[in-house]
Structure 1
Amino acid sequence: MKTTNNSMHAAPPAIPDECPLPLVLLKHLGIVTIFNVAGALISTYVLRASDSFLENLVFSLCIGTLALLFIDGGRMLLWGHGMPPQWPFIALLVPAIPAAKLLGDALAIQLLGLDAANVAAYQSKHAGATIWFTALACVVITWFFWRRGQFAQLQATVAAEKARAAAIEKQAMQAQLQMLQAQIEPHMLFNTLANLQGLIAVDPPRAQHMLDQLIQYLRATLSASRSDKTSLAQEFALLDAYLGLMKVRMGARLSYAFHLPEDLCEATVPPMLLQPLVENAIKHGIEPKVEGGHIDVKAERDGDLLSLTVADTGLGMDADAATSGTCVGVTNVRDRLQMLYGDRAAFSLTPNAPSGVIALLTLPL
């Protein structure tokens, strides 16, 4: 009677995987089947334990599949996706291997229709080779899956560290952006309050109008300061409130116009991105000019880019040369664009004709 020496399967420890556990078990079964086929080939053509490859294969598959269910299934029931502790896992492994061997042999005998007594006699005669080969197969397959589990766990740890580092970097960037955004408001607000204080005594109606514009402006900025993005329509509304406030201060010396195409109204931009440029145009260009000037704010689409322009007719680049390198508004805009878009955004200041400055921002839509 020909019977078989067979390959024994020691199931894997935990392999971190986000698949449902039954699918993980099915994946492991595919890997184990490859080992079992290799074991049957070695038993048949190297060790010459039996001349029948089919018998060796059936024994190997029965024992290996049962070992997978006992060890890997037991591991999943106890530890789920996680890596099991070493000694508890060994405690699971020790009884599972002989149980899989005994039950696997019995199942293979039934499937092949062999005589159990003859199989037992054959295995008893070749007990040394059977035990040696089974133990070796157990060690090799268990080591393979254990190392695979450790590697997968290491990959998961590295991925978690990268995600944590990215989250910390994002929080730092958000904090810096909020700091930059917070730099926009204070000095303009203090100047306005000082003007308001002076107007209350000499021109109460104008002071009341300025207070109304200030309230409108503060409402708009409060909404913008709580968000990391806004629509162009909201950004232009904020500028309208700001310039309306400046108009009360400067009277006929200031005029302004907006050009916002309807199809760009819902385009998203960082909040309060244009206000520093408008404020810069007034502070360094129009306010020092005796006759004042005009501000044009325009949005245009250029393919997949958005062009935003703030053009004034103030004193121009030469008058601002002394402060252009340290201007909070210009530096603020450059820093925010760099942090948010990197090389995908651009910012430039060029002379306007016949006088003034053109500030041009280009950023992805």
Structure 2
Amino acid sequence: MQARSSTHHYFSGVLSSLYRAFDAVATWVTQLSWWKFFLFAALTLIAGAILQEELFSNGEVEIAAAERAARKDAVSIVIDDSGIRFNPRNKPKPGNPDGPAVVSPPLPTVPPSVPATTPDLALPKGAQPGSDSVHIELPPQIAEELSVAIEGAVDDAAEAKVSRYHKQASTWFNSFVLLLVLALFGIKALMGGKKRAEQQTRSANAAAERESMQRQLSEAKMQMMQAQVEPHFLFNTLASVEHLIETNPPRASAMQRSLIQYLRAVLPQMRDNNLVTNLGREVDMVTAYLDLLKMRMEERLTVDMRIPDGLRSAAFPPMMLQSMVENAIKHGLECKPEGGTLKIVADVADHKLRVTVTDDGVGFGVVPSTGTGLGLPTIRERLRLLHGEAGQLHIAANSPTGVIAMVEVPYQVSR
């Protein structure tokens, strides 16, 4: 049982290795383009022809010489002026049965109808009774011609045998090369579609895994960025409430109610960590934020908001509109003594939602920034992660003063 199990495992391993080798060859062949395959086939045939010439052409003379030497080692036939001498070589000695067995040409025998006492027919002339050597006397001219004829016949026979061997071996080698090329052609033609489909499936699965990991990484990165979008005005607002409690309690109470309204709008948004919300929710949150700012800036701040009701359901990144408004207030209007106007407009053009925040504040670079510098770079990075090239942030100077910031995203209805 153990021997049978070992044999089974051995053959299973051999078959498994053959299958892996065949699959590797099939995969390699099917991955080649057709012109590369035909180039490979042509080079293989050329290499096969060169090997065929080297292996089966140069050894003909050596093989013929070996054939002749083998014949001479077996039997010695000497033709000279005195006639023909026939003497077997390598004859085993008496008592040595293991010596090489050489079959000598049979000597002429006496026909049954002829008396054995006839000397001319009992033994050839020159043969010794009881001896294997034979000497047949011939005229010198006939002996020379016979010698030449026999050597030519032996050489022709050896060369014919070598030629047959060469032709057969060359045919087998050429057939093997052709069958190999045809087999590879069949594999490519018959299994090319299957292997390409398997390769495409593997590539698609790998791409899906990479995309899933990239999306998870992008979502984690966006959530981290979103967590950095803090209401910087909150501490200033609380300080203002504390100051108004002492100087103007009714106004402090109104500011406190606005702060509570704003926190009710913003905290669920920050708690959900959604990657996309709707424009209406963002507008409500910004409205509460601007109400607080109006209580701080009073008549120095004017708000012009134009958001069509039909666009309130449009998808829009969370906390992005507030970041744009905060940037306009902090770097444009709040540092301007007389204040100014903040305009928020939303529209759709070329299947894209455009939300524009315009201020007539001090403009670019008038007041040095004291913040973290994360506002606009964060917006651009979030847009890239969410929409790729379809999400854009455009910044331009307003006339006569101020800044125009516009976010452009694909128009979609939020679920």
- Displacement of 1:262: 2.7
> Which of 213, 217, 224 lines up with 2:269 in the alignment?
224
Structure 2: 5+ residue stretches without partners? 1-192
User: What SS does the corresponding residue of 2:358 show, helix, strand or coil?
Assistant: strand
- The answer to whether residue 396 in structure 2 is matched with residue 347 in structure 1 is no
Q: After superposition, where does 1:76-91 map in structure 2 within 5 Å? A: none
The 3 A distance-change label for structure 1 pair 304 and 250 is: same
The 3 A distance-change label for structure 1 pair 159 and 318 is: closer
The 3 A distance-change label for structure 1 pair 343 and 158 is: closer
- The aligned counterpart of 2:374 is 328
2:308 and 2:251 mapped to 1: Cα distance?
A: 33
1:305 and 1:152 mapped to 2: Cα distance?
A: 37
- The answer to whether residue 214 in structure 2 is matched with residue 169 in structure 1 is yes
> Which of 204, 215, 223 lines up with 2:260 in the alignment?
215
- Displacement of 1:193: 2.1
- The answer to whether residue 364 in structure 2 is matched with residue 317 in structure 1 is yes
- The answer to whether residue 350 in structure 2 is matched with residue 293 in structure 1 is no
2:204 and 2:395 mapped to 1: Cα distance?
A: 43
- Displacement of 1:199: 2.3
Deviations 1:25-82 (A, max 9, x none): xxxxxxxxxxxxxxxxxxxxxxxxxxxxxxxxxxxxxxxxxxxxxxxxxxxxxxxxxx
- Displacement of 1:231: 1.6
- Displacement of 1:328: 2.2
1:289 and 1:171 mapped to 2: Cα distance?
A: 43
- The aligned counterpart of 1:261 is 308
2:309 and 2:281 mapped to 1: Cα distance?
A: 13
The 3 A distance-change label for structure 1 pair 325 and 195 is: closer
- Displacement of 1:205: 1.7
The 3 A distance-change label for structure 1 pair 326 and 334 is: farther
Identity of aligned residues (%): 41
> Which of 244, 256, 272 lines up with 1:199 in the alignment?
244
- Displacement of 1:315: 1.0
- Displacement of 1:154: 7.8
2:370 and 2:403 mapped to 1: Cα distance?
A: 12
- The answer to whether residue 261 in structure 2 is matched with residue 244 in structure 1 is no
- The aligned counterpart of 1:233 is 280
- The aligned counterpart of 1:13 is none
Larger Rg computed on CA atoms: 2
- The aligned counterpart of 1:23 is none
- Displacement of 1:300: 1.2
- Displacement of 1:306: 1.5
Amino acid at match of 2:323: P
2:281 and 2:226 mapped to 1: Cα distance?
A: 16
2:371 and 2:255 mapped to 1: Cα distance?
A: 32
User: What SS does the corresponding residue of 1:274 show, helix, strand or coil?
Assistant: helix
Q: Structure 1 residues 182-191 or 322-331, which shifts more?
A: 322-331
- The aligned counterpart of 2:98 is none
1:328 and 1:173 mapped to 2: Cα distance?
A: 17
- Displacement of 1:214: 1.3
User: What SS does the corresponding residue of 1:350 show, helix, strand or coil?
Assistant: strand
Aligned-residue CA RMSD (Å): 3.0
1:149 and 1:298 mapped to 2: Cα distance?
A: 55
1:307 and 1:216 mapped to 2: Cα distance?
A: 27
User: What SS does the corresponding residue of 1:172 show, helix, strand or coil?
Assistant: helix
Amino acid at match of 2:229: I
Q: After superposition, where does 1:29-44 map in structure 2 within 5 Å? A: none
- Displacement of 1:236: 1.1
1:324 and 1:311 mapped to 2: Cα distance?
A: 21
- The aligned counterpart of 2:223 is 178
Amino acid at match of 1:281: A
- The aligned counterpart of 1:338 is 384
- Displacement of 1:352: 1.5
User: What SS does the corresponding residue of 2:399 show, helix, strand or coil?
Assistant: coil
Q: TM-score, normalised by structure 1?
A: 0.55
- Displacement of 1:330: 1.4
- Displacement of 1:223: 2.8
> Which of 233, 256, 275 lines up with 1:188 in the alignment?
233
Amino acid at match of 2:331: H
- Displacement of 1:291: 0.9
The 3 A distance-change label for structure 1 pair 201 and 229 is: same
- Displacement of 1:281: 0.9
Amino acid at match of 1:235: E
Q: After superposition, where does 1:61-140 map in structure 2 within 5 Å? A: none
Q: TM-score, normalised by structure 2?
A: 0.48
